[in-house]
Chain A
Amino acid sequence: MTNHWIDLKNADVILAMGSNPASNHPISMKWIMRAREKGGKLICVDPRFTQTAAKADLYAPLRSGTDIAFLGGMINYILEKNLYFKEYVVNYTNAAFLVSPDFKGPAELDGLFSGYNEKKRNYDKTTWSYQKDESGIALKDPTLEDPNCVFQLLKKHYARYTLDKVTNITGTPKDKLEAVYELYGSTGKPDRVGTECYAMGWTQHTVGTQNIRAMTIVQMLLGNMGMAGGGINAMRGESNVQGSTDQGLLFHILPGYNPVPNASLPDLATYIEKNTPTTKEPRSVNWWSNRPKYITSYLKAIYGAAATKENDFGYGWLPKLDVGQNGSWLMLFDRMHQGQFEGFFAWGQNPACSGANSNKTRAALAKLKWMVNVNLYDNETGSFWRGPGMNPKDVQTEVFMLPCCSSVEKEGSISNSGRMAQWRYKAVEPVGQSMADAEIANELYFKVKELYKKEGGAFPDPILNLTWDYGEKDAAGKVKHIDIHAVAKEINGYFLEDVYDTKVEPPKLIGKKGDLVTSFPSLQADGTTSCGNWIYCNSYILKDGKEVNMMARRGKDDPTGLGLYPGWAWAWPVNRKIIYNRASVDLQGNPWDPKRPLLKWNEAEKKWVGDVPDGPAPPMGTDGKFPFIMKPDGVASIFGPGLNEGPFPEHYEALECPLEENSMSKQRINPTIKIFGGESDAFYSCDSRYPFVATTYRASEHWQTGCMTRHCSWLLEMQPQNFVEISVELAKELGIKNGEKVIVVSGRGEVEAVAMVSERFKPFKLENSTVHQVGLTWHFGWQFPEDGSGFDSANLLTPTVGDANTMIPESKAFMVNVRKA
């Protein structure tokens, strides 16, 4: 989230699209309802009439996988009707930037941007660049009239997304479409703010990243970024997924969103050079220019004294990706399926049910020599060898079960979607032999270290040099139990030497050796500070000589009345609740909307009042800095050349779709997605065997694959079985009665479910056809309830294909058939 949960109450218009907050994030609805009490309007756009739709002031259906068409139409509407916030757009976005005249878009190239390489399925992005002056600063036209400026290119691109066109793609009734555009477009006024809530309904598409990009363009045009009650808000699907992503869960990022090095970056200097953006724009803060400090402090945190200037701070010990290597979920399991892995830790996950195309995942597990299942319960993954279609005799995988304890049985922090890290305490002792994850990691680490010590091995250095000062050690040097505070403090970082600010005379002491670092501006690139994750620097600080766990704070004051609660726990970065908040003020530092004064420049005291500002620089009108400090240009990117499929989102159909043609262009599917060619990766479009669009989703009562919740009889009582929601019209066509058991089939597998026939799904009327859609939950699995009464996971149906940038699987739009069981 750019904003945070409570901030939803400040919105005038809330667009829930790609999410179903009422079912899946019920607490968010508390704040959405607060907004509504004050006259705010909730818009719900969803293929299905959801619980959120039931509460919405305006509901519009759309066919799964057509969000860009929908939002493209909105951009067009906003531009055509002059609803955009011009002052904001000109000053805070790259709308005025002039793009290379060689740049061509889908309007000219029938669905493609300039630079496409059909064989490699990727783009040469050379033409996706700005015209620059002699000093290297991008040329701009503040009148927004130059035909090559971003604004005019945007206009040209989205002029094709007319109401009629969009309606024929999305299946949304035209009046609904217009009503949504009009209502959301009303937030382009300075004193009106709109926010967007998305979740997996946007990310799990082959165009997932571009779905979100399309919305950021809307938000920038309307001046909603950085505002209280605005922003783009990812509603995270798991309570701590924000935290785990921050701490380097993904294959391509180290903690704090530093890129994972690859083989072309042999030393730290090259890594820094390649990964540190530069800018010639003097008024851009370009925060990532601090990368050297963050990566060096990170290396010092993990390798400690062994990391020296001479050995590149141990950079060589970091694992490297091959150039261009993708280590995301689908790729991992594809390789596992090809027998390229020996072992696998399924730690706190249930891939046999959660992974797209679960039959492939399950088959892949059988190719392993060993697997360790770390979980609260045995699950479909740990028991895959005795699952449906498996012959235990043929499976050679040795499975180990390590029971771990639940979140209430251990102490530590959880970071929610609003980037707020909250400290939690142990409520009860772990059950049986279960251990906290950190304790399991501790045992594992010392055992692996012992083996490396004893047996050597190919590359023992990263393990042998790893710091592990997390508590009292036994005679053999092993940490007995993990002190989780020691971990938190390592993440925050320490001064390893007395550190001075040498920019002032005489140099001023910033921090004493051994003290906790107060905040990331104090981090150094010379190895004199350590920091496990720079964005968490300031979460555990030294205050008046005492170490203070900021995440454990419980202050309930709300001085601004905007629900920032600065004394409650701690949000990264530096307790800033709304990022890019300097975009909430005009050039003089006065709030765009005086009713929602998130920040205000106090000229007398030369400081900002309100939220923790995005940097202390004064307002732009008084020789200050651009507000979007993480961007090299300092402004928000309406033109976004960073993504793989183009700088402007373009509508493409899902890999599996019901239409022969994309009515926007000749390009039916995203031209840059990876196509898996294996036998188990089959996909079928416009195939009479799989005539209906399907999507997957969650119900309130279960969590993810249901591993935890299916074992709770209270929850199972409310949602005991997998179900598929079907329109009355389709049920009639298929002769299916409400409540009867059916089988849903895709090109990859089939799953049983109870038919839930209702008016909540309606057929989509497109230009030349009627498209039916169904939806089912992925909470169930064969392993529990043990009688199989819950049926199995909907991911048996989903395709092996991912977003072109993130490789998040496309489980929200694929093709199926439904038949009576």
Chain B
Amino acid sequence: MANDNTKNRKAILVTPEVCIGCRACQVACKSWNQLPGIKTKNNGTYQNPPDLASAAFNIIRYSEVPSDKNPVRWLFVSRRCMHCDDAGCMKICPAPGALYRTKEGAVAFDRDKCIGCKLCVNACPFDVPRYDVEGKVTKCHLCFDRIDAGMQPACVKTCPTGALRFGDRAELISTAKKDGFNTIYGEQDLGGLGSIYAFKDAPKLYGMKDDPAIPSSVIFWHTVLKPFAVAGLGGVVAAAAIHYLTVGPHKDEEE
């Protein structure tokens, strides 16, 4: 369901197989977006901060899975906004322009327009949006400001190995497939994601959600309740008008 505005859609292709877990992407993101350092503690893992945060638009998830040839298999997966084509956050957002689609097809935000209702946080299938101390939405915005200036997103620019690539979405997908990655996570999900992942194993191994979807209540609300809110009001007004014209106002009986 590619939108008109996303015909020339750009994307970030994440290839965890090539990621070395150096986390230059985390630093580059913070540097470009001038995000403050978070006071953390070591929780017995390299992963820090433990999850996305208002001051951490991307993180590397470190996970250990069993291996048949080594003591363990250690996976590094970049986690960030997925820039869904069918974006739950945008769908539920009540404030026009607070979350918006960039011309590259990414989902960006406008702090000034955000009303801080936090609904987007809950409608996101990937638990991505966060709120900063002022109660405004923050998340990866695919560095639309850098892209506008002809540059790559900060994380992609700094990635030494090509685990993060930025470019024309269709091209990225076909290149990844040519390179032998038979699973492109996000190729079709949610209308096609803007952060796509190239895998040779099942995405689930890498901690990716099977069949990501916008919560069904949000879908029901969007497809049934919203139209009803218009149709219902219109219907009632029309019914009253018809009633007034056909039956007419109440007449008190003459004694």
Consider the complex of A and B and state whether they touch directly, i.e. have CB atoms less than 8 Å apart.
yes
B112 nearest CB across to chain A (Å)? 26
Interface residue? A504 (CB, 8 A): no
Contact A27 B160 (CB under 8 A): yes
Contact B26 A718 (CB under 8 A): yes
Within 8 A of B (CB), among A718-734: 718-721, 723
Which residues of chain B come closer than 8 Å to A59, judged between CB atoms? Answer: 70
Contact A30 B160 (CB under 8 A): yes
Binary interface encoding of chain A residues 600-611 relative to chain B, with 1 for a CB under 8 A from any of its CBs, else 0: 000000000000
Contact A29 B20 (CB under 8 A): yes
Within 8 A of A (CB), among B107-140: none
Question: Which of the candidate stretches A144-152, A294-302, A620-628, A757-765 sits at the interface with the other chain?
Answer: A757-765
Question: Which of the candidate stretches B2-10, B36-44, B83-91, B200-208 sits at the interface with the other chain?
Answer: B36-44
Binary interface encoding of chain B residues 30-65 relative to chain A, with 1 for a CB under 8 A from any of its CBs, else 0: 110001111111111110110000001000000010
- Given A23-B22, A26-B20, A738-B44, do A713 and B36 touch, yes or no (CB 8 Å)? yes
- Given A29-B161, A54-B74, A717-B48, do A22 and B42 touch, yes or no (CB 8 Å)? no
Which residues of chain A come closer than 8 Å to B20, judged between CB atoms? Answer: 22-23, 26, 29, 51-52, 54-55
Interface residue? A560 (CB, 8 A): no
B13 nearest CB across to chain A (Å)? 15
Contact B48 A54 (CB under 8 A): no
Query: Which residue from chain B places its CB closest to the CB of A32 in the assembled complex?
Result: B161
Query: Which residue from chain B places its CB closest to the CB of A789 in the assembled complex?
Result: B41
Which residues of chain B come closer than 8 Å to A713, judged between CB atoms? Answer: 36-38
Partner of B72, one of A700, A712, A759: A759
Contact A22 B26 (CB under 8 A): no
Interface residue? B71 (CB, 8 A): yes
Interface residue? A97 (CB, 8 A): no
A479 nearest CB across to chain B (Å)? 37
Which residues of chain B come closer than 8 Å to A760, judged between CB atoms? Answer: 64, 71-72, 74
A334 nearest CB across to chain B (Å)? 34
Partner of A759, one of B21, B37, B64: B64
Interface residue? A755 (CB, 8 A): yes
> In whole angstroms, how far apart are the Cα atoms of A721 and B40 in the complex?
9
Interface residue? A715 (CB, 8 A): yes
Which residues of chain A come closer than 8 Å to B38, judged between CB atoms? Answer: 713, 717
A400 nearest CB across to chain B (Å)? 30
Contact B41 A755 (CB under 8 A): no
Contact B43 A739 (CB under 8 A): yes
Interface residue? A61 (CB, 8 A): yes
Interface residue? B76 (CB, 8 A): yes
A730 nearest CB across to chain B (Å)? 13
> In whole angstroms, how far apart are the Cα atoms of A720 and B46 in the complex?
10
Contact B72 A714 (CB under 8 A): no
Among B18, B31, B72, which residue has the most Cβ atoms of chain A within 10 A? Answer: B72
- Given A26-B22, A33-B18, do A49 and B72 touch, yes or no (CB 8 Å)? yes
Which residues of chain A come closer than 8 Å to B162, judged between CB atoms? Answer: 30, 33
B228 nearest CB across to chain A (Å)? 47
Among A22, A55, A701, A718, which residue has the most Cβ atoms of chain B within 10 A? Answer: A718
A758 nearest CB across to chain B (Å)? 6
Query: Which residue from chain B places its CB closest to the CB of A51 in the assembled complex?
Result: B21
Partner of A26, one of B24, B40, B42, B71: B24
Which residues of chain B come closer than 8 Å to A26, judged between CB atoms? Answer: 20, 22, 24, 160-161
> In whole angstroms, how far apart are the Cα atoms of A738 and B47 in the complex?
13
Partner of A754, one of B42, B75, B161: B42
Which residues of chain A come closer than 8 Å to B39, judged between CB atoms? Answer: 717, 720
Contact A754 B44 (CB under 8 A): yes
> In whole angstroms, how far apart are the Cα atoms of A26 and B20 in the complex?
8
Interface residue? B198 (CB, 8 A): no
Interface residue? A62 (CB, 8 A): no
Contact B71 A759 (CB under 8 A): yes
Contact B21 A22 (CB under 8 A): yes
Which residues of chain A come closer than 8 Å to B70, judged between CB atoms? Answer: 49, 53, 59
Interface residue? A751 (CB, 8 A): no
A348 nearest CB across to chain B (Å)? 23
Partner of A49, one of B37, B49, B74: B74
Which residues of chain A come closer than 8 Å to B36, judged between CB atoms? Answer: 713
Query: Which residue from chain B places its CB closest to the CB of A791 in the assembled complex?
Result: B42
Query: Which residue from chain B places its CB closest to the CB of A30 in the assembled complex?
Result: B160
Interface residue? B141 (CB, 8 A): no
- Given A27-B160, A714-B30, A719-B48, do A701 and B23 touch, yes or no (CB 8 Å)? yes
Interface residue? B12 (CB, 8 A): no
B143 nearest CB across to chain A (Å)? 17
B211 nearest CB across to chain A (Å)? 28
A736 nearest CB across to chain B (Å)? 10
Interface residue? A756 (CB, 8 A): yes
Which residues of chain B come closer than 8 Å to A712, judged between CB atoms? Answer: 37
Which residues of chain A come closer than 8 Å to B45, judged between CB atoms? Answer: 738-739, 756
- Given A718-B48, A756-B44, do A700 and B64 touch, yes or no (CB 8 Å)? no
Which residues of chain A come closer than 8 Å to B24, judged between CB atoms? Answer: 26, 700
Which residues of chain A come closer than 8 Å to B243, judged between CB atoms? Answer: none
A153 nearest CB across to chain B (Å)? 37
Query: Which residue from chain A places its CB closest to the CB of B18 in the assembled complex?
Result: A33
Contact A29 B44 (CB under 8 A): no
Contact A723 B42 (CB under 8 A): yes
Contact A30 B23 (CB under 8 A): no
- Given A714-B30, A721-B42, A760-B74, do A54 and B21 touch, yes or no (CB 8 Å)? yes
Interface residue? B146 (CB, 8 A): no
Contact B160 A29 (CB under 8 A): yes
B159 nearest CB across to chain A (Å)? 9
> In whole angstroms, how far apart are the Cα atoms of A52 and B73 in the complex?
12
A61 nearest CB across to chain B (Å)? 7
Which residues of chain B come closer than 8 Å to A766, judged between CB atoms? Answer: none
Which residues of chain B come closer than 8 Å to A740, judged between CB atoms? Answer: 44
Within 8 A of B (CB), among A32-88: 33, 49, 51-55, 59, 61
A610 nearest CB across to chain B (Å)? 28
Interface residue? B27 (CB, 8 A): yes
Interface residue? A487 (CB, 8 A): no
- Given A54-B73, A59-B70, A713-B37, do A22 and B22 touch, yes or no (CB 8 Å)? yes
B147 nearest CB across to chain A (Å)? 23
Which residues of chain A come closer than 8 Å to B37, judged between CB atoms? Answer: 712-714, 716-717
B100 nearest CB across to chain A (Å)? 28
B59 nearest CB across to chain A (Å)? 9
Partner of B48, one of A55, A720, A738, A789: A720
Which residues of chain B come closer than 8 Å to A700, judged between CB atoms? Answer: 21-24
Which residues of chain B come closer than 8 Å to A701, judged between CB atoms? Answer: 23
Among B20, B31, B56, B73, which residue has the most Cβ atoms of chain A within 10 A? Answer: B20
Which residues of chain B come closer than 8 Å to A29, judged between CB atoms? Answer: 20, 22, 160-161
Given contacts A22-B20, A29-B160, A756-B42, could you give 16 more A-B pairs where the C-beta distance is less than 8 Å? A23-B20, A23-B21, A26-B20, A26-B24, A54-B21, A54-B75, A55-B18, A699-B46, A700-B22, A712-B37, A714-B26, A715-B27, A720-B48, A740-B44, A756-B46, A759-B72
Q: What residues make up the interface of B, taking CB atoms closer than 8 Å to A?
A: 18, 20-24, 26-27, 30-31, 35-46, 48-49, 56, 64, 70-76, 160-162
A sample of 11 cross-chain residue pairs with beta-carbon separation below 8 angstroms, ordered by A number, consists of A22-B21, A26-B20, A26-B24, A29-B161, A51-B74, A719-B46, A720-B48, A721-B42, A757-B44, A759-B71, A759-B72
9 smallest A-B Cβ distances: which pairs?
A713-B37, A739-B44, A759-B72, A738-B44, A22-B20, A26-B22, A54-B74, A754-B42, A721-B42
